[in-house]
Amino acid sequence: MGFREITEKFEGDRLSEFASKSSDTMGRLIEEEKCTVRTEYQRDRDRILHSKAFRRLKHKTQVFLSPEGDHYRTRLTHTLEVAQISRTIARALQLNEDLTEAIALGHDLGHTPFGHSGEKILDKIHPGGFMHNEQSLRVIDCIEKGKHGLGLNLTFEVRDGIRNHTGDMEPVTLEGQIVKLSDRIAYINHDIDDAIRGSILTSNDLPKDCIINLGESHSQRINNMIMDVIYHSVGESKIRMSENILYYTNKLRQFMFENVYLSKKAKKEEEKAQYIIEQLYNYFILHPEKMSLEMRERMENNNINEIVKDYIAGMTDRYVINRYMEIYIPGVWK
């Protein structure tokens, strides 16, 4: 018995009846010879981890545009926090940690520069709209380069979890459902932490009934939410919170929208950020030769609007600013 087969046997013997076993995957878009050591979900996790899109997350905004401090979350640190929360829940429920981790690490690969501000403006100006979960799937299917050319050729279960980590659709696996809940647990709590650090909120501003039911501190709230998910999902065919904790979690999320995500202070640079993205989008539509060679090479088989959207969505915050300055700001005479 080989190394991969030993792991697959372990999954069959030890994981829950509701777990997604790697040997039972619905497969890849292109059939591949299996690895002798890693399971299919482990390979997917590694492909995501080594992708360029994953590395770029460290320079993409989570909520606050151009924060000056070193401790504000980025899209990468958010992703790592989601992966940590997801794996904790998956391990407790004896579900597939490798699948959970792969989905968590890949769920935001398609996010734009400037966070949801960038997503909002691309959705407005791009024909057909823009959703970061759909773009994440496009990144792994069409943009990143893998062994078969374009696309990482991930398994159905990982692709499904990434696509349905937000929105009305539910992931088909419990592991994907874990990531969907963990994403919300992570961003509600770390955004509170960042908002307090940025003097947008104080701890006394948080709704009292939410604090009483969820916890006073950052760590208490995360722990209570995680434990609630675990205890109410044991032996169940669906991942869920209790009605009480879900109610106060949603109430706290609504509070964050009203007081942080849509506040003037937190979004004071949003109009500038959206203006930059819109100007670059229109510029590259008219001057596609100014895009990177990698993007220009894909123009023969793709609509120009789609390529420009891919190009801008893949940019980091600092790169999109540098491109704007390079195109629109006069250079200094030397």
The DSSP secondary-structure symbol of 143 reads I
Lowest mean pLDDT among 90-94, 181-185, 190-194, 280-284: 190-194
Distance from C-alpha of 103 to C-alpha of 95, rounded to nearest angstrom: 13
Distance from C-alpha of 210 to C-alpha of 215, rounded to nearest angstrom: 8
Contact 281, 125 (CB under 8 A): yes
How many other CB atoms are found less than 10 A from the CB of residue 167? 11
> What's at 180, amino acid-wise?
K
Q: What percent of the chain has pLDDT over 90?
A: 80
Q: What is the band of 262 on the pLDDT scale with cuts at 50, 70, 90?
A: confident
User: The tokens 């619905």 sit on which residue?
Assistant: 26
Is the model's pLDDT at 68 over the cut of 70? Answer: no
* Domain segments of the chain as ranges: 3-261
Is 3-261 in CATH node 1.10.3210.10? yes
Q: Please, which residues have CB within 8 angstroms of residue 210's CB and are 6 or more apart in sequence?
A: 248, 251, 252, 255
For residue 175, give the nearest of 242, 235, 87 by alpha carbon: 87
Helices (H), the chain: 3-14, 40-49, 52-56, 75-92, 97-106, 115-125, 132-138, 156-163, 174-197, 208-214, 218-233, 243-256, 270-286, 293-296, 304-313, 317-328
Name the average pLDDT for the chain.
93
The predicted pLDDT at position 109 comes to 98
User: The tokens 């980025």 sit on which residue?
Assistant: 74
Q: What is the band of 199 on the pLDDT scale with cuts at 50, 70, 90?
A: confident
Q: What percent of the chain has pLDDT over 70?
A: 95
